[in-house]
Amino acid sequence: MPEVMSSEVVVIGGGVIGAAIAYYLCREGAEVMIVEEDDLASGASGACDGFVSLQTKAPGPHLRLAMESAQLFPELAEDLDVDIEYRRCGGLLLATSQEQMKELRGRAKALKAEGLEVEILAAGDVKDFLPEVGKEVKGGSYCPLDARVNPISLTLGLAKKAQEMGATILRGCKVENIVVTNNRVREVHTTAGSIHSRRVVCAAGVGSNQIGKMIIVDVPVLPQRGQILVTESREPVLKTLVAGAEYLGTKANIQALMPADAESAKLGLGFTAEQTASGNLLLGSTREFVGFDNQTTPEAMNAIARNALRYLPWVEDMDVIRSFAGLRPCSPDGLPILGTIKGIRGFYLATGHSGDGICLAPVTGVTISELVLDGETSLDIAPFSLYRFK
Q: Is the CB of 173 or the CB of 178 nearer to other proteins?
A: 173
Q: How do beta strands 3-6 and 147-148 pair?
A: unpaired
316 binds other proteins (CB under 8 A): yes
Minimum Å distance from CB 68 to other proteins? Answer: 28
Minimum Å distance from CB 46 to other proteins? Answer: 6
Cα distance between residue 34 and residue 170, in whole Å: 6
Q: Is the CB of 324 or the CB of 373 nearer to other proteins?
A: 324
Instruction: Specify the stretch interacting with other proteins by CB under 8 A; choose among 69-77, 102-110, 118-126, 313-321.
Output: 313-321
Q: What is the DSSP string of 152-172?
A: HHHHHHHHHHHHHTT-EEETT
Beta bridge partners of 374: none
Cα distance between residue 387 and residue 340, in whole Å: 10
233 binds other proteins (CB under 8 A): yes
317 binds other proteins (CB under 8 A): yes
95 binds other proteins (CB under 8 A): no
CB 368 within 8 A of CB 319: no
For other proteins, which residue of 9, 19, 40, 330 counts as binding (CB under 8 A)?
Answer: 40
Cα distance between residue 133 and residue 330, in whole Å: 32
For other proteins, which residue of 6, 39, 117, 374 counts as binding (CB under 8 A)?
Answer: 39
Instruction: Specify the stretch interacting with other proteins by CB under 8 A; choose among 9-17, 37-45, 53-61, 140-148.
Output: 37-45
4 binds other proteins (CB under 8 A): no
For other proteins, which residue of 323, 351, 354, 369 counts as binding (CB under 8 A)?
Answer: 323
For other proteins, which residue of 94, 147, 214, 318 counts as binding (CB under 8 A)?
Answer: 318
Nearest Cα neighbor of 214 from 371, 5, 6, 10 is 10
Other CB atoms within a 10 A radius of the CB of residue 364 amount to 28
Torsion (CA) 8, 12, 13, 17 in degrees, nearest 10: -60
Cα distance between residue 374 and residue 85, in whole Å: 32
Instruction: Specify the stretch interacting with other proteins by CB under 8 A; choose among 24-32, 87-95, 175-183, 229-237.
Output: 229-237
Tell me if residue 255 falls in helix, strand or coil: helix
What residues from 134 to 163 belong to the interface with other proteins (CB under 8 A)?
152, 156
Q: Is the CB of 135 or the CB of 390 nearer to other proteins?
A: 135
Q: What is the DSSP string of 176-217?
A: EEEEEETTEEEEEEETTEEEE-S-EEE--GGGHHHHHHHTT-
Contacts of 78 (CB under 8 A, 6+ apart): none
78 binds other proteins (CB under 8 A): no
Cα distance between residue 17 and residue 282, in whole Å: 22
For other proteins, which residue of 232, 263, 293, 374 counts as binding (CB under 8 A)?
Answer: 232
Cα distance between residue 379 and residue 367, in whole Å: 7
Torsion (CA) 310, 305, 248, 268 in degrees, nearest 10: 130
How many angstroms separate the most distant Cα atoms in the chain?
A: 70
Q: Is the CB of 267 or the CB of 308 nearer to other proteins?
A: 308
For other proteins, which residue of 53, 209, 231, 272 counts as binding (CB under 8 A)?
Answer: 231
41 binds other proteins (CB under 8 A): yes
What residues from 253 to 312 belong to the interface with other proteins (CB under 8 A)?
278, 283, 296, 298, 301-302, 304-309
Q: Is the CB of 66 or the CB of 152 nearer to other proteins?
A: 152
Minimum Å distance from CB 270 to other proteins? Answer: 15
The distance of Cα 311 from the centroid of its chain, to the nearest Å, equals: 24
236 binds other proteins (CB under 8 A): no
Other CB atoms within a 10 A radius of the CB of residue 307 amount to 25
Q: Is the CB of 88 or the CB of 174 nearer to other proteins?
A: 174
Q: Is the CB of 157 or the CB of 212 nearer to other proteins?
A: 157
Cα distance between residue 345 and residue 22, in whole Å: 19
81 binds other proteins (CB under 8 A): no
Instruction: Specify the stretch interacting with other proteins by CB under 8 A; choose among 40-48, 107-115, 195-203, 284-292.
Output: 40-48
Contact set with other proteins (CB under 8 A): 39-42, 46, 152, 156, 229, 231-235, 278, 283, 296, 298, 301-302, 304-309, 315-324
